[in-house]
Structure 1
């Protein structure tokens, strides 16, 4: 399998980004169901929740989604700065960023597993950590640039799948990757919801393992020599 991934880095990157899409579904299920209706990966959901909450008398959260939004933007900014000037392929910096995301999610899982997450301050701390991590992941995935797979949202993917279908323009499309991204984020959300029945930290632990696995596989299968040269020249 590793040899096939090395020979075809484009397919390898697609597979790895699809795994992260599944992982995002898990994290968003944990956030929405376990952290008082907060999305830490899908910022569109947070913006909509904040807009409705501002109407008043909606019983919708404001602070949690706002923390997630600010954290996500901070993580994305940090990821973008770290990748400034990097080659448009998997580099050592991508490995570090995805590894850091996995570690951050794992660190968030520890207090979630050991402490009472009914405490609002702990919920906000976990929300901030996950928001930063998912923003960094989104920036790194954007730089890897696998078409139609952002790892954090699928609205544009759904649009492309429908628009380019035989009922739409009928122009042909990479429907397998689009359908895969849509299905996997939903499957991740289902998995995250089911793992909440075990413990709130269980979904985060699985997401952390998946993300660290992606970082490791990406590192050992990317065309290392060219990437290291590009990295060293920056």
Structure 2
């Protein structure tokens, strides 16, 4: 238990001399963003995800056999927009791969602009979002999450992918001492799962009992905070800024 708590604490308040420096808590913030935007998309835009592309592939299968409540077009648009965002993210990563801080700064700025545009659409058009507004929101948010996913993949902070928890939960169980493993990283992995749960919980509460656009406003505030934090870090030449 002490080891897990220590691991969780060093994730929230990392040693700046560590190989990943200040990145772990910033990745946790992005994980909360994932929960928020997927709660919004699933509950407000129909059964579609803008971050969880595995879910959309499954939804395509459901749609093809005529399962009620799923839209083939929405799932395909989300997949295509996410891929487009990943392409944009790839351009950022390959351009700035020599400095992880500058890479994250530009990725965050790009994602923030996309989520801001989505929030404006969600505010201008009243829910339920139909036709053009619905697909505009899917495109903007899926592109933003594509950018986030690529930057998180390039930064490669262990156990903090920001969008996928399957391997994180697998590692939590399979690496325990009871399973014969070393028992490490339980605290960090648990924090990652909790961060996404919190985002989904807050996002669902906001959609169901508040205003449908509120999850996007909260996500926007978190992205803005991350962006502000990364600006001075982008000028750093500390070891963590160097490519892996």
Fold similarity call, TM over 0.5: yes
Say whether residues 1:200 and 2:222 are aligned partners.
no
Say whether residues 1:105 and 2:115 are aligned partners.
yes
| Alpha carbons 2:100, 2:155 under 8 Å: kept | yes
Say whether residues 1:69 and 2:79 are aligned partners.
yes
Q: Which residue of 1 aligns with 2:3?
A: none
CA distance 1:108–1:139, change in 2 (3 Å):
same
- State the number of aligned residues: 228
**Distance in 1 separating the partners of 2:58 and 2:158:** 26
Say whether residues 1:220 and 2:241 are aligned partners.
no
**Distance in 1 separating the partners of 2:77 and 2:116:** 19
Specify every segment of 5 or more residues in structure 1 that has no aligned partner in the other structure, as ranges: none
Structure 1 residue 168, shift from structure 2 partner = 2.1
Point out the more displaced range, 68-77 or 49-58: 49-58
Q: Which residue of 2 aligns with 1:80?
A: 90
Point out the more displaced range, 24-33 or 86-95: 86-95
**Distance in 2 separating the partners of 1:171 and 1:4:** 21
Structure 1 residue 14, shift from structure 2 partner = 0.6
CA distance 1:52–1:5, change in 2 (3 Å):
same
| Alpha carbons 1:117, 1:123 under 8 Å: kept | no
Q: Deviations over 1:104-133 (max 9, x none)?
A: 101101120121233222011100000000
Say whether residues 1:39 and 2:49 are aligned partners.
yes
Structure 1 residue 11, shift from structure 2 partner = 4.7
| Alpha carbons 1:9, 1:222 under 8 Å: kept | no
| Alpha carbons 1:103, 1:212 under 8 Å: kept | no
The CA RMSD over aligned residues, in Å, is: 2.4
**Distance in 2 separating the partners of 1:8 and 1:218:** 17
Q: Which residue of 2 aligns with 1:166?
A: 177
Q: Which residue of 2 aligns with 1:153?
A: 164
Structure 1 residue 5, shift from structure 2 partner = 6.9
Q: Which residue of 2 aligns with 1:190?
A: 201
Q: Which residue of 2 aligns with 1:175?
A: 186
Structure 1 residue 58, shift from structure 2 partner = 3.2
Structure 1 residue 90, shift from structure 2 partner = 2.2
CA distance 1:57–1:201, change in 2 (3 Å):
closer
Specify every segment of 5 or more residues in structure 2 that has no aligned partner in the other structure, as ranges: 1-12
The structure 1 segments of at least 4 consecutive aligned residues displaced by more than 3 Å after TM superposition are 3-9, 85-89
CA distance 1:158–1:216, change in 2 (3 Å):
same
Structure 1 residue 102, shift from structure 2 partner = 1.2
Q: TM-score, normalised by structure 2?
A: 0.85
Q: Which residue of 2 aligns with 1:122?
A: 133
Secondary structure of 1:183 counterpart: helix
Q: Which residue of 2 aligns with 1:93?
A: 103
Structure 1 residue 93, shift from structure 2 partner = 3.0
Mapping of residues 1-40 of structure 1, within 5 Å: 6-8=16-18, 10-40=20-50
Say whether residues 1:60 and 2:73 are aligned partners.
no
